Chains A and B, each alone.
Chain A
Amino acid sequence: MDILIPSVPPPLRITHQMWEDFLCDPVLACEVIFGIRLDAFQKCRLRYYWWVQNVIDSSGVGSGKTVVDFIFLCLRCILIPKQQAAVFYPSFGTGKNSFWEYFGSFVLSGRAPIFVAQLGNPVKLEAGDEVAGDGTLHGSDCYTAFFRNGNKLKMPAPSIALDSVRAASLTVNTLIIEEWCQIDAASDAIDKQLIDRARGNSYNQFSPLWGNHIVYSAHAQTMMHPAAARFKHHQRQVAMGNPQFANLSYSYKDFSDLKCHTGKSFKEEFRIESTIDNKRNVCSKSDWRGQGFGIWGTSGEGWFTEDALSAAVTRGKAYGILPVLSRRQFEELEQTQSTEVQTSV
């Protein structure tokens, strides 16, 4: 078995029994290998990623998509033999700063010794490639993490403007396309190049576990967005009951009162109300449905204005309108009001 490597100290080894358990339960694998506990909805997300081959995750901002993406890709590389994985960002810089940062944080934090033990020695491929402090290889147009079992996780520079032609020779088994809505809006990179990347050989291409996986990750947009066609196609497959497709939508509201690794609740730790409020205040309602709640909505403007309705209430007060249960009650109301007016005069 590729993953049983004698040079790993015994306490940090993934035994055969553990491997079997981890394949069936990625959440358990996450807790043991990475030493972190996920919130309930994040566990669901990880299981969907693990067992469904085509996933669109439209969850809102601040719902912890990136960390689950990282854990998912690393688990695939650690646990599944002959696995090549890749993550694409519309901007290479964004990927470096958000996704690849997790390598540094897990390696340096010391809370994931089993994970660190699974990382292999980088192999320098080209001049200019550098081995970074997190043990991964930083190339000018691709970052690569090597695992002991020979698997690799790559983050190539996307070259979206060129429809990702630089990715043409890449072949992977597991692919995550981050901020895919932006990519769909800017180019045909996903259709022309990126989907074709997930064509690596696998033990069983039809198996939900061994087969190749693609995850599209970005908050929801409106149905007028160029990315909506792909979402609708997925939605149709989900509606038809195709088990190879799933559409997910979580939001910051899903953070629970369960305790996280710091001792605080997930809600206290990760639901940053001030940031959410700031974001909500600058978004239109339909934008917020997508960005905040991960709901694919329609873009539009209010038909009845709040001012017109407030003015209607003001006029109603002038006429003394109140709810009534019958014609008679309304007539009595009128009489009472006219009597009051006469008395005051």
Chain B
Amino acid sequence: MSQPLFFFMGGDPAPSDQHRSDDGCLIAAVAWTRRVLEPDELLPTNPHEWIFAPCYGRVFTAKEKMSVAQWSGMIHGLHQRFGFERILLDAGAGGGGVYIKRAMMKPEQLINGAEQVVVPICDQVDGPLLVVRGQFILSMFGRGDPGVNTVWPDPTGTRSLAGDELLKDAMYSSFKEGLEHGVIVFPPDVDEMLATRRSEALAWGDERLWALKVLDAGRKQLINIIVETREKDGAMVQVFTQRGARKFQSLGKDDIALALMYSYGAFLIWLRSGDWTAAMKPADAVGFAGRATG
């Protein structure tokens, strides 16, 4: 394919100094347009004109005891490898995402065991107040984040949705829609890969093979997400909260599934942000990264 590629990250972080915390996960995904665009044609804003493929995953268990600084360094390291357009992290109180956000704003990061000077990765709420020069590509999954509000606004016109459960419902619905409309595609499952292209897969090395296993496990976790139902007049109907959101439950772990949904959320936020549609004079476009200078 000759279309430009855009990479996104979703993360369900779980920094821990003790052995009882949940697993955390980082997912990288790539997106490209379904058709080859005309020269100087703007990128389509409709998600259905895109293909979105999770292409990397890594799980960190409590055994690894990843600190906040290590999580931050890991995200910076992956950003160096992939060049993400947008990153979406869980902002839940239990996950430590807020602390990781702060750590990612530091110019020195621990990457591959060595301290490196990097351009900070910042969100759009606290970032502009704390950092002068940075990459403002981080969104925290919670009401109040500008990117999240753009994709999942409150239909009544207020800035954010009325409750966290409505936001969760909206994200689960968006991912389901993307899956059913053919936007989201997945790599093959591990068993099939090892059965049909075993030598190739074994030559990949641990990290890449584990990425395949993680993405495979993520699909299984997605299947284990259920929406609560109850019996009414002989039929099973979905249960809604007072604000009208569905109640979701996971039968088992859901760290990878959430990270997958966050990565898709990052893609949607980037798509709606319109950053890349900003008008630019032809003279200024010369030499601009990614464009031909002719």
Chain A interfacial positions (CB closer than 8 Å to B): 224, 285-286, 289, 297-306, 308-309, 311-313, 315-317, 319, 321-327, 330-331, 334, 338
Structural contact, A327 and B81, CB atoms closer than 8 A: yes
Please give the distance in Å from B1's CB to the nearest CB on chain A: 6
Q: How far is the CA of A303 from the CA of B137 in the complex (A)?
A: 30
Counting chain B residues whose Cβ lies within 8 A of the other chain, the interface size class is 35 or more
Report the stretch among B88-96, B106-114, B208-216, B278-286 that lies at the interface.
Answer: B208-216
Q: Which residues of A contact B189 (CB under 8 A)?
A: 313
B202 contacts A by Cβ under 8 Å: no
Q: How far is the CA of A317 from the CA of B188 in the complex (A)?
A: 6
Please give the distance in Å from B70's CB to the nearest CB on chain A: 19
Q: How far is the CA of A306 from the CA of B225 in the complex (A)?
A: 11
Please give the distance in Å from A149's CB to the nearest CB on chain B: 49
Q: Which residues of A contact B172 (CB under 8 A)?
A: 303
Please give the distance in Å from A220's CB to the nearest CB on chain B: 14
Q: Kindly identify, within residues 164 to 218 of chain B, every residue whose CB is under 8 Å from any CB belonging to chain A.
A: 172, 175-176, 179-180, 182, 184-189, 204, 207-209, 211-212, 215
Structural contact, A308 and B228, CB atoms closer than 8 A: no
Structural contact, B187 and A316, CB atoms closer than 8 A: yes
Structural contact, B180 and A325, CB atoms closer than 8 A: no
Q: List 18 A-B contacts (CB under 8 A).
A: A224-B239, A285-B226, A286-B251, A298-B249, A299-B228, A300-B249, A301-B226, A302-B227, A303-B176, A304-B223, A304-B225, A311-B182, A313-B185, A319-B51, A323-B209, A323-B212, A324-B56, A334-B1
Structural contact, A327 and B185, CB atoms closer than 8 A: no
Structural contact, A308 and B180, CB atoms closer than 8 A: yes
Structural contact, B81 and A309, CB atoms closer than 8 A: no
Structural contact, A285 and B56, CB atoms closer than 8 A: no
Give the nearest-CB partner of B204 in chain A: A323
Structural contact, A324 and B55, CB atoms closer than 8 A: yes
Please give the distance in Å from B101's CB to the nearest CB on chain A: 24
Q: How far is the CA of A298 from the CA of B252 in the complex (A)?
A: 12
Please give the distance in Å from A59's CB to the nearest CB on chain B: 19
Please give the distance in Å from B186's CB to the nearest CB on chain A: 5
Q: Kindly identify, within residues 43 to 80 of chain B, every residue whose CB is under 8 Å from any CB belonging to chain A.
A: 51, 53, 55-57
Q: A316-B187, A325-B56 given as contacts; is B81 within 8 A of A304 (CB)?
A: no
Structural contact, A300 and B55, CB atoms closer than 8 A: no
Structural contact, B223 and A325, CB atoms closer than 8 A: no
Q: How far is the CA of A246 from the CA of B103 in the complex (A)?
A: 44
Structural contact, B225 and A322, CB atoms closer than 8 A: no
B222 contacts A by Cβ under 8 Å: yes
Please give the distance in Å from B85's CB to the nearest CB on chain A: 11
B219 contacts A by Cβ under 8 Å: yes
Structural contact, B229 and A326, CB atoms closer than 8 A: no
Structural contact, B1 and A286, CB atoms closer than 8 A: no
B7 contacts A by Cβ under 8 Å: yes
Q: How far is the CA of A310 from the CA of B140 in the complex (A)?
A: 30
Please give the distance in Å from A302's CB to the nearest CB on chain B: 6
Structural contact, A325 and B211, CB atoms closer than 8 A: yes
Give the nearest-CB partner of A338 in chain B: B1
